[in-house]
Amino acid sequence: MSGCPFGGGEHDAGQEAPASRLSRRGLLSLAGVGGAGAVAGIAAGLLSHDTLAAVAAPATAGPNDVVPFHGATQAGITTAAQDRLHMAAFDVITEDRATLIQLLKDWTAAAEAMTQGRETGTTGAVDGPYDAPPEDTGEALGLSAGKLTVTFGFGAGLFEKDGKARFGLEGRRPEALIELPHFPGDDLEPNRSGGDIIVQACADDPQVAVHAIRNLARIGFGRVRVRWSQLGFGRTSSTSRQQQTPRNLFGFKDGTNNLKAEDTALLQEHVRAGEGARPEEAWMQGGSYLVARRIRMHIEIWDRTSLREQEQLIGRTKSEGAPLSGGKEFTAPDFSIKGKDGEPLMGMDSHVRLAHADQNDGVRMLRRGYNYTDGSDGLGHLDAGLFFIAFVKDPRTHYVPMQLAMAKEDTLALEYLKHTGSALAAVPPGIQPGGFIGEGLFTMMAGQA
Ligand SMILES: C=CC1=C(C)c2cc3[nH]c(cc4nc(cc5[nH]c(cc1n2)c(C)c5CCC(=O)O)C(CCC(=O)O)=C4C)c(C)c3C=C
Ligand SMILES: [Fe+2]
């Protein structure tokens, strides 16, 4: 721990912590808000603890750094995709319903605080008892909220395990929360797949995203166990028309024809879950389903592939991302135009043709993935790829058929990709002030004991 900025210096072993010690975030903020005079006042003990608490706020957070936490839908779905990801899957290791509910309440409070640029707990990283572990791990002190969003989803394992219902949630598992089928070519690793609760933390600062997951794991100690986690850098989608289209590790623009936050009617049609077939699943209304796939890309092979073949595999130009049928990046592809050889300019096995709504019963999805590199595989190859994330209304109609078609016909998938991780989660609707994540799932229904 570094020294106190107000002359208190390091704590010595056994020394009591100052009674009204401010968090560094608060102090930094105060320096910004109240100016040097306020900071001098604190140092001289002139300001009361209450006064300090009232003015303490994140260090550099401004309105542009903070994404609202409460709302009809969870943040982190249509929120303009941030630059960094830390996603984690947790297995719940308690079987007690009240303990699970308390965990969700604790996580809600912590997520709200962190997304607003505050520390977790009431005493944060440095204001608690000197002889107890701090309530916040501290690595985000001095950082802004970084547009952090924390999005929670429930995996099938939360509802039942080994054929037995859990937490009194009999009948509450939505029918859309299926076990994803094994797709041809899948090489899924169990320790990179599944999970009872999936948490997606996105931020523009990697340390903020890591801090969020780390603190949720710390808070959940004894109640959950981390099953897997994944870091991502460089978003591979635009989710707003205000954003520039980014590039994936194949060097292609990715996200051009993604659904965007501005497409409100299409989001309602393709991303927001309905009330479900049964009253027991009404708690998901307004939520969504999160599909996560860790897709390793054989980039060394790709890097030895000609530009012509790369473009034909994708169906778009590498420079501008324009469809091979002509036009500019946002021109709609024309699948009927043929070249001199009589073959369609948008190849029959090209990724864009196979993924396009025209080939998939009109279905669309909101893609929100990230690039990843996890070192090398010991055989001289980078373990790098795309951590694919999509939000859909119903994975049975909006993901499985498309993935199946790709696994069978998409030359890009067949020759250059390998799926090594997979998860599906039901993402409940947003949280209202005073509520907690997934509250509707735990609300007793008429006739329930
Ligand atoms: C099952 C769904 C999808 C998987 C898995 C997937 C993997 C994947 N995609 C790329 C690169 C690109 N994908 C592009 C478009 C695109 N991809 C999907 C779906 C999946 N992709 C859809 C629905 C679309 C949109 C199709 C359309 O309507 O035109 C593109 C083109 C640019 C764009 O529109 O985003 C690229 C490039 C990789 C590298 C990859 C796995 C590693
Ligand atoms: Fe794609």
Q: Which two tokens stand for residue 256?
A: 């051009």
Is residue 218 within a helix (H) or strand (E), and if so which, with residue range? helix 206-219
CA 226 to ligand 1 center in whole angstroms: 29
Ligand 1 atom at shortest distance from the alpha carbon of 252: 37
CB distance 392 to ligand 1 below 6 Å:
no
Burial of 409 (0-12, 13-18, 19+ CB in 10 A): middle
Residues 6+ apart with CB under 8 A from 210: 86, 139, 201, 231
Structure tokens at 89: 């899957």
Phi, psi of 264 (to 5 degrees): -60, -40
Q: Show Cβ contacts of residue 447 under 8 Å, excluding neighbours closer than 6 positions.
A: none
351 lines ligand 1 (CB under 6 A): yes
For the chain, the structural domain boundaries read 17-57
Q: Which atom of ligand 1 is nearest to the CA of 257?
A: 34
Structure confidence at residue 68 (pLDDT): 97
Q: Residue 114 is encoded by which pair of tokens?
A: 């962190």
Phi-psi region of 330 (alpha: psi -120 to 50; beta: other; left: phi over 0): alpha
d(CA 56, CA 32): 10
Q: Which ligand is in closest contact with the Cα of 297?
A: 1
Collapsed DSSP state (helix, strand, coil) of residue 170 = coil
Helices (H), ranges, 229-338: 264-270, 299-302, 307-314
Among 254, 318, 372, 397, name the best residue to mutate to test ligand 1's pocket (greatest count of ligand atoms within 8 A of Cβ): 254
Q: How far is the CA of 432 from the centre of ligand 1 (A)?
A: 34
Ligand nearest to C-alpha 386 = 1
Instruction: Give the pLDDT of residue 275.
Output: 79
* Proximal ligand: closest to the CA of 403: 1
Q: What is the pLDDT along the chain (449 residues), one digit of tens a residue?
A: 333 332 223 333 333 333 333 333 444 444 333 333 333 333 333 333 223 332 334 444 556 799 999 999 999 999 999 999 999 999 999 999 999 999 999 999 999 999 999 999 999 999 999 999 999 999 999 999 999 999 999 999 999 999 999 999 999 999 999 999 999 999 999 999 999 999 999 999 999 999 999 999 999 999 999 999 999 999 999 999 999 999 999 999 999 999 999 999 999 999 999 877 789 999 999 999 999 999 999 999 999 999 999 999 999 999 999 999 999 999 999 999 999 999 999 999 999 999 999 999 999 999 999 999 999 999 999 999 999 999 999 999 999 999 999 999 999 999 999 999 999 999 999 999 999 999 999 996 665 65
pLDDT of residue 446: 60
Take atom 1 of ligand 1 and give the residue whose Cα is closest: 403
Whole-prediction pTM value? 0.89
Measure 274 CA to ligand 1 centroid, in angstroms. Answer: 25
Atom in ligand 1 nearest the alpha carbon of residue 360: 23
